[in-house]
Structures are given as C-alpha cells and as structure tokens.
Chains A and B, each alone.
Chain A
C-alpha cells in the first residue's frame, strides 16, 4: 500500500524568509507526485506536479519541489514567502498502476503561517 507522510503539521515563518515543507512517500510501484494548496473555506488548488523527466519542478508563484527517488521525498520549497502564502499544503501521490490507479493518496497537510 502507498502512503504519504508530511513531517510537519505546522510551520510558522516570517515574511521574506525561506521555507521548506517536507514530504516523504512510500509505494511499491512508480509514482506521480503533487503538491496542492488549500486556502480557508476553499477547495484544493494544484501547485505543482512531478510526472516524469526533470526532478525539479516549479510553480508560477515561486514554489519548487524536487523528486528524490533514493530518499523517497518530494519536499516543497520557496526562497522568500509572502503573507499571502499562508494556507494549508498537501502532498499527494498517485500510483502509475496497480489496484489503486486513479486514486490520489494525500498526506495529513502542513499549515504554513507567514507572520509579518
């Protein structure tokens, strides 16, 4: 069975500081990896995804994540955060095949709070 572990439930940072949200996964088959962001009382928005190719993927708003197969990680980073980045972030995994095909498995989420 596959699983996703987000190592920090809450991450407080000051504005303009760098941040890293950690995500580790477990799966017996090839995976696709995603980061989603959820603002209060809203649905989830896709931030970035790794399907294949370059292990470093970037979003349009300055976030990046690196797929590390040997460490089974997909950490999310941003060099300088803004107040508007305050939200809950979810790491998710999809198997490339098998009985769980088509299903996204989510981590428990990390609440990022950016302080002025």
Chain B
C-alpha cells in the first residue's frame, strides 16, 4: 500500500512569492491534515480537510490556504512568503479523527 506522498521534496522561494505544496493521501483515507514543523516552534496544526471541505484551521494567517480535490488529494498554498515560513511542511491522512494519522515525509520550504 502506497503511503502518503508529498511533492516537491524541497522548494526554494523568494520572499513575497507564492508556494504550492501537494499531498496524496493513502487510498481510502478521506481526511488530510497539514502541519508546519519550524525550527524551535515544534509541530503546529495548519489545516484539516475532509470530504472536500475545510473542517478546522490552526492559528495561521489567511495567506495560508488550501483545498482538497474530489480524489482526496490536497494542496497547500502559501502566499506572500515570509522568511519565517521556512519550515518542513508535513501532510497526514486518516480515515478521520480520532484515528492515528499517517504522515508523509514532508516538503522542506526555504524562503530566501
């Protein structure tokens, strides 16, 4: 069974640009979650999508947004990039809470 796949693995952007990160969940999983793992800040919840709808959102500004497609894959968009957005962005999928999530390997976003 294929795990959660994320692309790209690494992404380098300039401050002010937009970044798009992609995630394919495990087959059969309808929930997708996004987390930010920044140095010194730990793992912070960003977004939860289920059945195409945004179900919950963490304490991040509106320039962090995303969507879930009919095939349950998901996209995270970060607009007007700032240096402090540099982090590992992790996507996870599950059959829905409270089941344990399966995480992907992440996208390392570097903003210069």
Contact = CB atoms under 8 A, between A and B. Distances in A.
B42 A104 contact: no
Q: Which one of A99, A103, A105 has the greatest number of beta carbons of chain B within 10 Å?
A: A103
Interface stretch (A16-24, A37-45, A61-69, A74-82): A37-45
Contacts, number: 55
A102 B55 contact: yes
**Interface size range of chain A in the complex:** 20 to 34
Contacts of B106: 42-43
Given A100-B56, A103-B58, A43 B105 contact: yes
Interface in A94-116: 94, 96, 99-109
A25 interface: no
A94 B98 contact: yes
Contacts of B35: 104
B97 A106 contact: no
B105 A104 contact: no
A103 B98 CA distance: 9
A22 to B, nearest CB: 16
Contact of A49 (B31, B92, B100, B104): B100
Contacts of A7: none
**What 8 A-B pairs come out closest when comparing CB atoms?**
A43-B103, A106-B43, A32-B98, A46-B100, A44-B103, A102-B48, A43-B105, A103-B45
